[in-house]
């Protein structure tokens, strides 16, 4: 950590861990002021979701204050602000990290926070029943639903991170979720430094991660039901594969990450590399079964999450657009002598070929230093057409 960063991180005065926590306390106060000034459904809903996944979440793991009394007072304030008794949520959340279920503990803090929340709701219902029933409660429920969606997609198909700079600025490094699970006690300011190249990542923040399924898997399913789409997808991908593999020598064993519902990479490489051993590595048993039904010939299937440090021994590895992991790490340190990465049209890296402008997709070929040096000295071989 740099001297400037270390100075900013050091706690001062009443703060226990870091001076940055003063920003979160100030924003929690600002959240309360905004609720009073603009008591609307969107403000209530977005506030419950945003605060629960930033300020309240960080406070659970690293209470901000040195004083236990101040921590109890701030917990009561967050309970009122969010309508969620923080002591109850803290017990449930820490049990989630421990992988266990714990019964509700009826402590004095739980009773105090629950009583204050119920008192506030009673006052609102008696004083402003229309507002409470048509604005506050719907906003509160929408906020809880957003929290549920957020939590679900942080852990769907395993614990997944999002390393986008804007999201982690606005949500105070909440995107580093795999890193957070690896070390739950790490202060939120230090999570980026703990980022692991092997951690599964998504291009989408958790609350938007459902778009991956909608945009990619739905297209695969659509191709399964249309012979025209299958021919289109195969022809476009085969042209790009043929262009990039034409000058790559000695491919004997290929690792194909994510067999997919429509196994176009296997079908293409069976034609382009008829003598190569093809190994499909896919975490979805259902997808593997769907792929098996469409493939003839010997192809090995591995029902596991792809780990570039464990799944080794390939001359070529093919990475899908839907890859769950740190794509930048694959570019920086190729896990095989040759790596073909499906990427978006605007992300050209290494040797590259456009798959389809309509699909917004290109194929990038990354050669390791060892293969590049070998090719310079030994020349190249054309793959079989």
> What is the reported pLDDT for 9?
55
Q: DSSP string of 311-363?
A: S---SEEEE-TT--S-HHHHHHS-SSSEEEEEEETT---SEEEEEETTTTEEE
* pLDDT reading at 222 higher than 70: no
* pLDDT reading at 220 higher than 80: no
Q: What is the mean pLDDT of residues 83-106?
A: 88
Q: What is the CA radius of gyration of the chain?
A: 26
State how far the alpha carbon of 47 is from the alpha carbons of 40, 93, 141, 174, in Å: 11, 19, 12, 15
Q: Which domains does the chain have, with CATH numbers?
A: 3-208 (no CATH), 212-378 (3.40.50.150)
229: confidence class by pLDDT, cuts 50, 70, 90: confident
The model's pLDDT over 366-376, given as tens digits with 9 standing for 90+, comes to: 998 554 444 44
Q: What is the mean pLDDT of residues 344-360?
A: 89
Lowest mean pLDDT among 39-48, 78-87, 222-231, 318-327: 222-231
Predicted model pTM: 0.60
The pLDDT > 90 percentage for the chain reads 56
CA dihedral 342, 343, 344, 350 (to 10 degrees): -110
* pLDDT reading at 5 higher than 60: no
State how far the alpha carbon of 367 is from the alpha carbons of 222, 244, 329, 338, 385, in Å: 33, 11, 14, 5, 21
Q: Quick one: which of 132, 113, 109 has its CA closest to 122?
A: 132
Lowest mean pLDDT among 46-55, 90-99, 100-109: 100-109
* pLDDT reading at 260 higher than 70: no
> What is the reported pLDDT for 376?
41
The pLDDT > 70 percentage for the chain reads 88
* pLDDT reading at 356 higher than 60: yes
- Please state, in angstroms and rounded to a whole number, the distance separating the CA atoms of residues 360 and 345: 5
Q: Is residue 298 within 8 Å of 274, Cβ to Cβ? A: no
> What is the reported pLDDT for 385?
32
The model's pLDDT over 9-65, given as tens digits with 9 standing for 90+, comes to: 555 689 999 999 999 999 999 999 999 999 999 999 999 999 999 999 999 999 999
* pLDDT reading at 151 higher than 70: yes
> What is the reported pLDDT for 384?
38
Q: Check residues 359 and 118 and name the one with the higher pLDDT.
A: 118
Which stretches of 198-306 are DSSP H helices? Answer: 210-212, 218-224, 227-245, 264-272, 285-292
* Phi and psi angles of residue 365, each rounded to the nearest 5 degrees, phi first: -105, 120
The model's pLDDT over 197-214, given as tens digits with 9 standing for 90+, comes to: 777 888 889 998 877 665
User: What three-state secondary structure class fits 255?
Assistant: strand
> What is the reported pLDDT for 201?
85
The model's pLDDT over 158-190, given as tens digits with 9 standing for 90+, comes to: 888 999 899 999 999 999 999 999 999 999 999
What are the residues whose beta carbons fall under 8 Å from the beta carbon of 216, sequence distance 6 or more? 321, 322
Q: Check residues 262 and 159 and name the one with the higher pLDDT.
A: 159
The model's pLDDT over 118-128, given as tens digits with 9 standing for 90+, comes to: 999 999 999 99
**Per-residue b or e along 323-354, where b marks 16 or more CB atoms closer than 10 Å to that residue's CB:** bbbbbebbbeebbbbbbbbbbeeeeeeebbbb
């Amino acid at each position: 950590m740099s001297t400037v960063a270390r100075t900013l991180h050091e706690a001062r005065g009443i703060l226990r861990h870091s001076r940055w926590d003063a920003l979160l306390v100030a924003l929690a106060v600002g959240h309360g002021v905004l609720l009073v000034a603009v008591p609307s459904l969107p403000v209530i809903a977005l506030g419950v979701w945003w605060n629960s996944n930033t300020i309240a979440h960080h406070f659970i793991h690293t209470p901000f204050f040195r004083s236990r009394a101040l921590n109890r007072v701030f917990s009561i304030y967050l309970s009122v602000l969010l309508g969620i008794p923080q002591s109850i949520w803290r017990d449930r959340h820490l049990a989630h990290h421990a992988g266990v279920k714990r019964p509700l503990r009826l402590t004095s803090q739980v009773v105090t926070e629950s009583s204050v929340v119920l008192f506030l709701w009673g006052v609102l219902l008696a004083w402003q029943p229309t507002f409470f029933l048509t604005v506050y409660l719907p906003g509160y429920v929408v906020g809880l639903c957003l929290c549920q969606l957020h939590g679900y997609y942080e852990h769907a198909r395993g614990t997944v991170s999002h390393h986008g700079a804007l999201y982690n600025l606005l949500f105070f490094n909440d995107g580093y979720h795999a890193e957070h699970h690896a070390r739950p006690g790490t202060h939120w300011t230090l999570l980026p430094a703990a980022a692991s190249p092997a951690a599964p990542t998504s291009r989408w923040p958790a609350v938007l991660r459902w778009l991956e399924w909608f945009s990619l898997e739905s297209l695969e399913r659509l191709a399964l039901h249309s012979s025209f789409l299958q021919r289109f997808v195969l022809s476009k991908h085969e042209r790009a594969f043929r262009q990039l593999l034409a000058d790559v020598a000695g491919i004997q064993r290929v690792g194909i990450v994510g067999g997919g519902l429509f196994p176009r990479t296997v079908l293409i490489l069976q034609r382009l590399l008829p003598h190569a051993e093809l190994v499909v590595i896919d975490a979805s048993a259902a997808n593997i079964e769907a792929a098996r039904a469409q493939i003839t010939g010997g192809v090995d299937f591995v029902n596991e999450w792809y780990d570039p440090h464990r799944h080794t021994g390939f001359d070529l590895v093919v990475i899908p657009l839907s890859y769950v992991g740190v794509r930048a790490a694959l570019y920086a340190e190729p896990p095989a002598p040759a790596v073909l990465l499906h990427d978006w049209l605007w992300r050209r890296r290494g040797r590259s070929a456009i798959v389809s402008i309509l699909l917004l997709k290109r194929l990038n070929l990354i050669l390791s230093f060892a293969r590049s040096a070998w090719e310079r000295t030994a020349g190249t071989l054309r793959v079989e057409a």
